[in-house]
Amino acid sequence: MQVQYARLAKRILVAVFERGEAGELLELVQLVAQDEEAELFFDSTYGPRRIVTLRSRLEQVIQSFESRTMATPLEQDESNPSFFIFRFADDDALTPEERNLRARYRLHFSFLALLQELDATLFEHLCARVLELVGCESVFVTRSSKDEGVDCFGRLPAAPPPTPSALKMSPFARVLAQVNSLLFGQAKRYAADHRIDVGVVRAMPGTWENIKNGLINGTVTPDLRAGLEYVGYEASDSVVRMVLTTSSFTAGAVKTARTLGIVGLDGDQIAQLLLEAGGGVQQIDVGDWRADEVTLAAYCV
Protein backbone atom coordinates (compact mmCIF):
# COMPACT_ATOMS: atom_id res chain seq x y z
CA MET A 1 0.00 0.00 0.00
CA GLN A 2 1.29 3.45 -0.93
CA VAL A 3 0.86 6.35 1.48
CA GLN A 4 -0.91 9.39 0.02
CA TYR A 5 0.79 11.90 2.29
CA ALA A 6 -0.99 15.03 1.06
CA ARG A 7 -4.43 13.46 1.43
CA LEU A 8 -3.59 12.08 4.86
CA ALA A 9 -2.31 15.50 5.96
CA LYS A 10 -5.56 17.13 4.80
CA ARG A 11 -7.60 14.53 6.70
CA ILE A 12 -5.58 15.30 9.81
CA LEU A 13 -6.29 19.02 9.46
CA VAL A 14 -10.02 18.38 9.01
CA ALA A 15 -10.12 16.05 12.03
CA VAL A 16 -8.37 18.61 14.20
CA PHE A 17 -11.06 21.16 13.35
CA GLU A 18 -13.98 18.80 13.77
CA ARG A 19 -12.81 17.13 16.98
CA GLY A 20 -10.56 19.79 18.44
CA GLU A 21 -7.81 17.24 18.98
CA ALA A 22 -4.10 17.76 18.51
CA GLY A 23 -0.96 16.13 19.83
CA GLU A 24 1.80 13.83 18.64
CA LEU A 25 1.75 13.20 14.92
CA LEU A 26 1.47 9.45 15.49
CA GLU A 27 -1.63 10.08 17.60
CA LEU A 28 -3.12 12.12 14.78
CA VAL A 29 -2.33 9.33 12.33
CA GLN A 30 -4.20 6.89 14.55
CA LEU A 31 -7.10 9.31 14.65
CA VAL A 32 -7.68 9.49 10.89
CA ALA A 33 -5.69 6.78 9.11
CA GLN A 34 -7.18 3.54 7.86
CA ASP A 35 -5.90 0.37 9.56
CA GLU A 36 -3.45 -0.65 6.84
CA GLU A 37 -2.38 2.96 6.39
CA ALA A 38 -1.66 3.37 10.10
CA GLU A 39 0.44 0.20 10.26
CA LEU A 40 2.88 1.69 7.76
CA PHE A 41 3.82 4.38 10.28
CA PHE A 42 4.46 1.98 13.12
CA ASP A 43 6.88 -0.45 11.48
CA SER A 44 10.44 -0.10 12.73
CA THR A 45 12.12 -0.06 9.31
CA TYR A 46 10.39 2.76 7.41
CA GLY A 47 8.00 4.18 9.99
CA PRO A 48 10.25 7.01 11.26
CA ARG A 49 11.03 8.08 7.69
CA ARG A 50 7.34 8.13 6.83
CA ILE A 51 6.59 10.27 9.88
CA VAL A 52 9.19 12.81 8.77
CA THR A 53 7.64 12.91 5.28
CA LEU A 54 4.11 13.24 6.67
CA ARG A 55 5.19 16.01 9.02
CA SER A 56 6.63 17.91 6.05
CA ARG A 57 3.39 17.49 4.09
CA LEU A 58 1.28 18.53 7.07
CA GLU A 59 3.41 21.65 7.44
CA GLN A 60 2.75 22.45 3.77
CA VAL A 61 -0.99 21.95 4.19
CA ILE A 62 -1.01 24.21 7.26
CA GLN A 63 0.98 26.91 5.47
CA SER A 64 -1.31 26.74 2.45
CA PHE A 65 -4.39 27.06 4.66
CA GLU A 66 -2.83 29.98 6.53
CA SER A 67 -1.83 31.79 3.35
CA ARG A 68 -5.44 31.75 2.10
CA THR A 69 -7.34 32.31 5.33
CA MET A 70 -4.82 34.35 7.36
CA ALA A 71 -5.31 32.15 10.40
CA THR A 72 -2.96 29.45 11.70
CA PRO A 73 -4.94 26.43 12.92
CA LEU A 74 -2.00 24.40 14.16
CA GLU A 75 1.41 25.28 15.51
CA GLN A 76 4.34 23.03 16.32
CA ASP A 77 5.85 22.73 19.75
CA GLU A 78 9.27 24.41 19.70
CA SER A 79 10.92 21.54 21.56
CA ASN A 80 9.14 18.73 19.68
CA PRO A 81 8.38 19.30 15.97
CA SER A 82 6.16 16.19 15.92
CA PHE A 83 3.80 17.68 18.54
CA PHE A 84 1.07 19.96 17.21
CA ILE A 85 -1.11 22.37 19.17
CA PHE A 86 -4.62 23.37 18.04
CA ARG A 87 -4.83 27.14 18.36
CA PHE A 88 -8.63 27.33 18.15
CA ALA A 89 -9.32 25.19 21.24
CA ASP A 90 -11.64 26.75 23.82
CA ASP A 91 -10.06 28.49 26.80
CA ASP A 92 -12.01 29.90 29.76
CA ALA A 93 -9.26 32.44 30.35
CA LEU A 94 -10.04 34.24 27.10
CA THR A 95 -12.54 37.07 26.70
CA PRO A 96 -16.06 36.14 25.49
CA GLU A 97 -15.27 37.71 22.11
CA GLU A 98 -12.13 35.60 21.71
CA ARG A 99 -13.91 32.42 22.79
CA ASN A 100 -16.74 33.08 20.35
CA LEU A 101 -14.30 33.68 17.48
CA ARG A 102 -12.44 30.46 18.24
CA ALA A 103 -15.72 28.57 18.41
CA ARG A 104 -16.68 29.86 14.97
CA TYR A 105 -13.25 29.01 13.57
CA ARG A 106 -13.72 25.42 14.76
CA LEU A 107 -16.72 25.15 12.45
CA HIS A 108 -14.61 25.83 9.37
CA PHE A 109 -14.76 22.51 7.52
CA SER A 110 -18.33 21.61 8.46
CA PHE A 111 -19.38 25.14 7.43
CA LEU A 112 -17.50 24.82 4.15
CA ALA A 113 -19.38 21.58 3.46
CA LEU A 114 -22.67 23.47 3.97
CA LEU A 115 -21.54 26.13 1.49
CA GLN A 116 -20.84 23.46 -1.11
CA GLU A 117 -24.33 22.01 -0.65
CA LEU A 118 -26.12 25.36 -1.09
CA ASP A 119 -28.53 25.85 -3.93
CA ALA A 120 -26.77 27.78 -6.71
CA THR A 121 -29.21 30.70 -6.45
CA LEU A 122 -28.75 30.93 -2.69
CA PHE A 123 -24.99 30.98 -3.20
CA GLU A 124 -25.35 33.97 -5.52
CA HIS A 125 -27.20 35.79 -2.73
CA LEU A 126 -24.52 34.70 -0.29
CA CYS A 127 -21.89 36.25 -2.56
CA ALA A 128 -23.78 39.53 -2.34
CA ARG A 129 -23.53 39.21 1.45
CA VAL A 130 -19.78 38.71 1.04
CA LEU A 131 -19.59 41.96 -0.94
CA GLU A 132 -21.33 43.69 1.95
CA LEU A 133 -18.81 42.23 4.39
CA VAL A 134 -15.88 43.61 2.41
CA GLY A 135 -17.43 47.09 2.58
CA CYS A 136 -19.89 47.54 -0.28
CA GLU A 137 -22.68 49.95 0.66
CA SER A 138 -25.16 48.62 -1.89
CA VAL A 139 -25.36 45.25 -3.62
CA PHE A 140 -27.52 43.73 -6.33
CA VAL A 141 -28.11 40.12 -7.40
CA THR A 142 -28.92 39.58 -11.07
CA ARG A 143 -31.52 37.20 -12.46
CA SER A 144 -29.84 33.96 -13.52
CA SER A 145 -31.39 33.87 -16.99
CA LYS A 146 -30.24 37.38 -17.94
CA ASP A 147 -26.99 37.95 -16.06
CA GLU A 148 -24.55 37.88 -19.04
CA GLY A 149 -21.99 36.18 -16.82
CA VAL A 150 -22.42 38.49 -13.81
CA ASP A 151 -24.17 37.25 -10.68
CA CYS A 152 -23.82 40.21 -8.30
CA PHE A 153 -22.75 43.84 -8.13
CA GLY A 154 -21.55 45.96 -5.26
CA ARG A 155 -20.28 49.51 -4.97
CA LEU A 156 -17.34 50.06 -2.65
CA PRO A 157 -16.55 53.59 -1.47
CA ALA A 158 -12.87 54.48 -1.49
CA ALA A 159 -13.24 56.80 1.51
CA PRO A 160 -15.95 58.10 3.87
CA PRO A 161 -18.21 60.79 2.35
CA PRO A 162 -16.78 64.31 2.62
CA THR A 163 -17.86 66.30 5.66
CA PRO A 164 -17.33 69.96 6.61
CA SER A 165 -13.92 68.90 7.91
CA ALA A 166 -13.07 67.92 4.32
CA LEU A 167 -11.97 71.52 3.85
CA LYS A 168 -8.90 70.55 5.87
CA MET A 169 -8.11 67.69 3.47
CA SER A 170 -5.62 68.04 0.65
CA PRO A 171 -7.09 68.49 -2.85
CA PHE A 172 -5.87 64.99 -3.75
CA ALA A 173 -7.60 63.45 -0.72
CA ARG A 174 -10.85 65.24 -1.58
CA VAL A 175 -10.72 63.77 -5.08
CA LEU A 176 -10.11 60.27 -3.73
CA ALA A 177 -13.07 60.66 -1.39
CA GLN A 178 -15.31 60.81 -4.46
CA VAL A 179 -13.84 57.77 -6.26
CA ASN A 180 -15.77 54.54 -5.85
CA SER A 181 -15.19 51.00 -7.06
CA LEU A 182 -17.68 48.71 -8.72
CA LEU A 183 -17.23 45.09 -7.64
CA PHE A 184 -18.85 42.56 -9.91
CA GLY A 185 -18.66 38.87 -9.29
CA GLN A 186 -19.33 35.49 -10.77
CA ALA A 187 -20.59 32.91 -8.27
CA LYS A 188 -19.43 29.33 -8.84
CA ARG A 189 -21.06 26.91 -6.40
CA TYR A 190 -18.97 23.82 -7.06
CA ALA A 191 -18.08 20.63 -5.21
CA ALA A 192 -14.62 20.42 -3.66
CA ASP A 193 -13.21 18.39 -6.56
CA HIS A 194 -14.51 20.81 -9.23
CA ARG A 195 -11.84 23.50 -9.32
CA ILE A 196 -11.94 26.83 -11.14
CA ASP A 197 -9.75 26.60 -14.22
CA VAL A 198 -7.98 29.14 -16.39
CA GLY A 199 -10.88 29.43 -18.84
CA VAL A 200 -13.25 30.87 -16.25
CA VAL A 201 -10.72 33.51 -15.23
CA ARG A 202 -9.77 34.49 -18.79
CA ALA A 203 -13.40 35.15 -19.66
CA MET A 204 -13.86 37.78 -16.94
CA PRO A 205 -12.30 40.82 -18.71
CA GLY A 206 -14.41 40.20 -21.80
CA THR A 207 -17.54 39.92 -19.68
CA TRP A 208 -17.14 43.45 -18.33
CA GLU A 209 -16.17 44.89 -21.72
CA ASN A 210 -19.39 43.50 -23.21
CA ILE A 211 -21.45 45.06 -20.41
CA LYS A 212 -19.68 48.42 -20.71
CA ASN A 213 -20.18 48.48 -24.47
CA GLY A 214 -23.80 47.49 -23.96
CA LEU A 215 -24.30 50.49 -21.67
CA ILE A 216 -22.93 52.76 -24.39
CA ASN A 217 -24.88 51.36 -27.33
CA GLY A 218 -28.05 50.49 -25.41
CA THR A 219 -27.91 46.70 -25.81
CA VAL A 220 -27.31 45.79 -22.16
CA THR A 221 -30.15 43.78 -20.60
CA PRO A 222 -32.70 45.71 -18.50
CA ASP A 223 -31.78 43.59 -15.46
CA LEU A 224 -28.11 44.53 -15.63
CA ARG A 225 -28.91 48.18 -16.26
CA ALA A 226 -31.26 48.19 -13.27
CA GLY A 227 -28.58 46.59 -11.12
CA LEU A 228 -25.91 49.10 -12.08
CA GLU A 229 -28.31 51.99 -11.47
CA TYR A 230 -29.32 50.51 -8.12
CA VAL A 231 -25.75 50.35 -6.80
CA GLY A 232 -25.03 53.83 -8.18
CA TYR A 233 -22.47 52.91 -10.82
CA GLU A 234 -20.77 55.79 -12.60
CA ALA A 235 -18.44 55.64 -15.58
CA SER A 236 -15.63 57.06 -13.43
CA ASP A 237 -15.78 54.11 -11.03
CA SER A 238 -12.87 51.73 -11.01
CA VAL A 239 -13.93 48.12 -11.66
CA VAL A 240 -12.89 45.10 -9.60
CA ARG A 241 -13.69 41.72 -11.15
CA MET A 242 -14.19 38.78 -8.82
CA VAL A 243 -14.73 35.04 -9.00
CA LEU A 244 -16.25 33.55 -5.85
CA THR A 245 -16.39 29.79 -5.46
CA THR A 246 -17.08 27.13 -2.86
CA SER A 247 -14.24 25.04 -4.28
CA SER A 248 -10.73 26.24 -5.16
CA PHE A 249 -8.61 27.47 -8.06
CA THR A 250 -6.07 25.60 -10.13
CA ALA A 251 -2.50 26.92 -10.03
CA GLY A 252 -2.93 28.20 -13.59
CA ALA A 253 -6.13 30.02 -12.66
CA VAL A 254 -4.42 31.72 -9.70
CA LYS A 255 -1.54 32.87 -11.89
CA THR A 256 -3.86 34.12 -14.63
CA ALA A 257 -6.02 35.99 -12.11
CA ARG A 258 -2.98 37.83 -10.79
CA THR A 259 -1.91 38.73 -14.32
CA LEU A 260 -5.36 40.06 -15.25
CA GLY A 261 -6.03 41.78 -11.93
CA ILE A 262 -8.95 39.54 -11.01
CA VAL A 263 -9.78 38.77 -7.37
CA GLY A 264 -10.51 35.14 -6.57
CA LEU A 265 -12.15 34.02 -3.34
CA ASP A 266 -12.21 30.26 -2.75
CA GLY A 267 -14.35 28.24 -0.36
CA ASP A 268 -11.88 28.42 2.51
CA GLN A 269 -11.62 32.21 2.24
CA ILE A 270 -15.38 32.71 2.01
CA ALA A 271 -15.93 30.42 5.01
CA GLN A 272 -13.28 32.31 6.98
CA LEU A 273 -14.80 35.70 6.14
CA LEU A 274 -18.29 34.62 7.14
CA LEU A 275 -17.16 32.90 10.34
CA GLU A 276 -15.16 35.94 11.42
CA ALA A 277 -18.28 38.06 10.99
CA GLY A 278 -20.60 35.48 12.50
CA GLY A 279 -22.61 35.25 9.30
CA GLY A 280 -24.68 32.14 8.63
CA VAL A 281 -24.02 30.52 12.01
CA GLN A 282 -25.94 30.47 15.28
CA GLN A 283 -24.72 31.17 18.81
CA ILE A 284 -25.83 28.71 21.50
CA ASP A 285 -23.70 30.06 24.35
CA VAL A 286 -20.35 31.76 24.92
CA GLY A 287 -17.81 29.66 23.05
CA ASP A 288 -20.55 27.46 21.57
CA TRP A 289 -21.71 28.02 17.99
CA ARG A 290 -23.58 25.85 15.50
CA ALA A 291 -23.80 25.71 11.72
CA ASP A 292 -26.81 24.24 9.93
CA GLU A 293 -28.60 24.48 6.58
CA VAL A 294 -31.56 26.50 7.88
CA THR A 295 -29.45 29.20 9.54
CA LEU A 296 -27.19 29.54 6.50
CA ALA A 297 -30.11 29.72 4.04
CA ALA A 298 -31.84 32.40 6.14
CA TYR A 299 -28.63 34.46 6.17
CA CYS A 300 -28.34 34.27 2.37
CA VAL A 301 -31.64 36.04 1.81
Q: What is the pLDDT of residues 186-225, one digit of tens each?
A: 999 999 999 999 999 999 988 888 999 999 999 988 889 9
Q: Are residues 15 and 142 in the same domain?
A: no
Domain housing 24: 5-89
**pTM, to two decimals:** 0.88
Residue 267 located in a structural domain: yes
Inter-residue contact 287 to 102 (CB < 8 Å): yes
Amino acid at 167: L
Domain presence at residue 105: no
Same domain, 145 and 278: yes
Residue 39: the pLDDT is 86
In a domain, 66, yes or no: yes
**Secondary structure of residue 116 in the 3-state scheme:** helix
Mark which of 39, 58, 89 sits at the end of a domain. Answer: 89
| Mean pLDDT per 10-residue segment, the chain (301 residues) | 87 90 90 84 88 94 89 89 92 95 95 95 96 92 71 84 60 70 94 94 90 91 91 90 96 96 95 95 96 96 88
On whether residue 183 sits in a domain, the answer given is yes
236 plus 116 within the same structural domain: yes
Answer whether residue 99 is part of any domain: no
What is the chain's alpha carbon radius of gyration, rounded to the nearest angstrom? Answer: 23
DSSP class of residue 41? T
For residues 76 and 145, membership in a common domain is answered with no
- Does the residue 194 lie in any domain? yes
Would 94 be classed as within a structural domain? no
Is there a single domain that holds both residue 125 and residue 257?
A: yes
Same domain, 9 and 157: no
Long-range CB contact pairs, 127-130, < 8 A, 24+:
127/151, 127/152, 127/185, 127/187, 127/244, 128/152, 128/154, 129/274, 129/279, 129/299, 129/300, 130/244, 130/265, 130/270, 130/273, 130/274
**What pLDDT was estimated at residue 20?**
85
